[in-house]
A = this chain, B = another copy of it.
Amino acid sequence: MTESSLIGFSRGSATNAFFHATNPATGETSDLSFCKASESEVLNACQLASDASLKMAALSGAQKAAFLRDLAERIEGLVDQLVVTMTSETGLPEPRVRGETGRTAFQLRMFADLVESGHWVDARIDRAQPDRQPLPKPDLRSMLRPVGPVVVFCASNFPLAFSVAGGDSASAWAAGCPVIVKAHHAHPGTALLVGKAVVESVRASGLPEGAFSLIFGDGRTVGHALVGHPAVKAVGFTGSRAGGRALFDLASLREEPIPVYAEMSSVNPIFILPGLGEERMNEIAGGLQGSATLGAGQFCTNPGIVFYPRGAGGESLVATYVGKMKETASAPMLHKGIRKAYGEGLDALAGCEGVEVLVPASDDSGGGGCHAGASVLSTDAANFLNNEKMVDEVFGPSTLLVSYDSLEDLIRIADSLEGQLTASLFGDGSGLSEFGGLLDVLETKAGRLLFNQYPTGVEVCASVVHGGPYPATTDSRSTSVGTGSILRFARPVCYQGFPDDFLPDELKEGNPADITRLDA
């Protein structure tokens, strides 16, 4: 059986170029083949999105909310089919599929609530002052408006929550933008199931045809063609540093440069402060093991490097951690490319001067060639500071433990770090006062700082920041999780001297949209 792209309400043609999904747990190849989109199909999707732009921009908050809620419900209704397809395409267990389905629906409804209430548009009002001296003040009113068509790349590690109808798409639709999704080659069947639901919701909610297309094909051909198309105004991406940077470079070199929100690479450092007793250190070791091996270590916020104080407490932490990581069962990673990169990353780290391998990853990669075992390596602060390769992300269930002697060590380490999604401190509350200087540095390095909590399990809410300085993302001013992520796909527009009838409702004198406004 052969499937093809969803180009608005049409299907792509059968082509000679196709691919299959492979079960990473077993190595079995799916019967379903997926045709890669042709150049003209990509152009058609972009033209449809361009044609839909003004209609999408004109939708009311209530109309967008109805669409997002309809879609949430359809996706929940697919959960049993998703369990079958997604487990076989990703090797992820059923509870994860059910959990991620729930998160995806939750995100869609969160954005529905956000745009229905309408407060998000940052409405600002400066009323005319005709008698102002030396010059009258005109009437100015501004609010956020959609940027236009957005291209979203499905993430391999979130086949639902950051793929076809995931956070990037949901926030772009909520802002009033058409969305073109590039499916990930590892889970095309999952993408298609969700994509068909999106088309049904687009039809049922009366959105324009170009509100959504789903494109199958390679990143370097189809993906680059999408990012280079003049109709496209922004890009959302979650994936590798090399992949994200390539898209960023392409978008920056366009005749009209466009923003790329690429969420890429982070080692999510953990700083364990001195003064914690052995019992607490062992407890932290347990928590860390859970966080570092969750989903075979394939989370953006996976804690990759742990800095711990030299001494009895530190030794206890290491011993406990090593024991727990040794007992961790191997699990299939998402596809062979990720598994291969994991092995290469571990080898590179093990080859650094002063690095000791405490728990080697198992060589057995299972029937599908994708299984990965947990790994622990260790070094000390001096060696760590001497070799910048040690901060390279190893995507998978591994941890580098780094001992330190002093607060000065920690500050030097923090200073040396690249941008991160998260940085976590563990300590007792009173002890934190000595470490204000460390906190000040970490604030410039990470989007989210945690105290006595583990970085995985990103809360989806208004206050979360899932972002950070490069290379955590290509735009440190943004978050890709939570309601704030809608701001990536909007730009301010000011209306000066407009008659009330021709202002958007959000800016009319009587505030018929009933939203919070900055009344200057």
- Interface residues of A, Cβ cutoff 8 Å to B: 53-54, 57-58, 124-126, 135, 137-138, 140-142, 145, 147-148, 248-249, 252-253, 256-257, 259, 418-419, 429, 432-433, 436, 439-441, 443-444, 446-453, 457, 459, 461-465, 467, 469-471, 474-477, 479, 484, 487, 490-499, 501-502, 518, 520
Q: Chain B residues near A448: list those with CB within 8 A.
A: 493-496
Closest approach, in angstroms, between the C-beta of A298 and any C-beta of chain B?
Answer: 19
Q: Chain B residues near A497: list those with CB within 8 A.
A: 450-453
Q: Residue of B at shortest CB range from A467?
A: B492
A451 pairs with B256, CB closer than 8 A: no
Q: Chain B residues near A462: list those with CB within 8 A.
A: 124, 126, 518, 520
Closest approach, in angstroms, between the C-beta of A499 and any C-beta of chain B?
Answer: 4
Q: Chain B residues near A457: list those with CB within 8 A.
A: 135
Closest approach, in angstroms, between the C-beta of A427 and any C-beta of chain B?
Answer: 10
B470 pairs with A440, CB closer than 8 A: no
User: Contacts A57-B440, A462-B518, A463-B125 given: A496-B256 contact, CB under 8 Å?
Assistant: no
Closest approach, in angstroms, between the C-beta of A393 and any C-beta of chain B?
Answer: 16
Nearest 6 A-B pairs (CB), nearest first?
A465-B494, A252-B252, A462-B520, A124-B463, A140-B463, A448-B494
CA distance A138 to B422 in the complex (A): 15
A493 pairs with B447, CB closer than 8 A: yes
A432 pairs with B499, CB closer than 8 A: yes
CA distance A188 to B169 in the complex (A): 49
A493 pairs with B449, CB closer than 8 A: yes
Counted per complex, copies of this chain come to 2
Closest approach, in angstroms, between the C-beta of A360 and any C-beta of chain B?
Answer: 32
B419 pairs with A495, CB closer than 8 A: no
Q: Chain B residues near A257: list those with CB within 8 A.
A: 248, 252, 470, 474
CA distance A498 to B451 in the complex (A): 5
B496 pairs with A479, CB closer than 8 A: no
Q: Chain B residues near A446: list those with CB within 8 A.
A: 493
User: Contacts A448-B494, A492-B465, A494-B464 given: A145-B443 contact, CB under 8 Å?
Assistant: yes
User: Contacts A57-B440, A451-B497, A464-B126 given: A140-B459 contact, CB under 8 Å?
Assistant: yes
Closest approach, in angstroms, between the C-beta of A426 and any C-beta of chain B?
Answer: 10
Q: Pick 30 A–B contacts, CB within 8 A, sort by A.
A: A57-B440, A57-B443, A57-B444, A58-B440, A126-B461, A126-B463, A135-B457, A138-B459, A140-B459, A140-B463, A142-B465, A145-B443, A147-B476, A252-B252, A256-B419, A256-B470, A259-B475, A429-B499, A432-B501, A439-B502, A443-B493, A446-B493, A447-B492, A449-B496, A450-B496, A450-B497, A451-B497, A461-B520, A463-B494, A467-B492
Closest approach, in angstroms, between the C-beta of A276 and any C-beta of chain B?
Answer: 15
Closest approach, in angstroms, between the C-beta of A302 and any C-beta of chain B?
Answer: 16
CA distance A248 to B251 in the complex (A): 12
Q: Chain B residues near A449: list those with CB within 8 A.
A: 493-496, 498
CA distance A471 to B490 in the complex (A): 17
CA distance A391 to B447 in the complex (A): 41
User: Contacts A125-B463, A463-B124, A470-B256 given: A499-B451 contact, CB under 8 Å?
Assistant: yes
CA distance A53 to B441 in the complex (A): 10
Q: Chain B residues near A248: list those with CB within 8 A.
A: 252, 257
B520 pairs with A463, CB closer than 8 A: yes
Q: Chain B residues near A124: list those with CB within 8 A.
A: 462-463, 484
Q: Chain B residues near A253: list those with CB within 8 A.
A: 249, 252
CA distance A495 to B448 in the complex (A): 6
Q: Residue of B at shortest CB range from A475?
A: B259
B58 pairs with A429, CB closer than 8 A: no
Q: Residue of B at shortest CB range from A144?
A: B477
Closest approach, in angstroms, between the C-beta of A449 and any C-beta of chain B?
Answer: 5
Closest approach, in angstroms, between the C-beta of A351 and any C-beta of chain B?
Answer: 23
Q: Chain B residues near A465: list those with CB within 8 A.
A: 142, 492-494
Q: Chain B residues near A439: list those with CB within 8 A.
A: 502
Q: Which of B140, B459, B469, B490 contacts A461 (CB 8 A)?
A: B140
Q: Residue of B at shortest CB range from A119?
A: B518
Q: Residue of B at shortest CB range from A125?
A: B463
Q: Chain B residues near A443: list those with CB within 8 A.
A: 57, 145, 493
CA distance A124 to B493 in the complex (A): 24
Which residue of A436, A449, A463, A467 has the most chain B CB atoms within 10 A of its CB atom?
Answer: A463
CA distance A479 to B452 in the complex (A): 39
Q: Chain B residues near A476: list those with CB within 8 A.
A: 147, 491
Q: Residue of B at shortest CB range from A248?
A: B257
User: Contacts A459-B137, A462-B126, A463-B124 given: A496-B444 contact, CB under 8 Å?
Assistant: no
B54 pairs with A464, CB closer than 8 A: no
Which residue of A57, A141, A491 has the most chain B CB atoms within 10 A of its CB atom?
Answer: A491
CA distance A248 to B249 in the complex (A): 12
Closest approach, in angstroms, between the C-beta of A520 and any C-beta of chain B?
Answer: 4
Closest approach, in angstroms, between the C-beta of A63 and any C-beta of chain B?
Answer: 16
CA distance A248 to B476 in the complex (A): 17
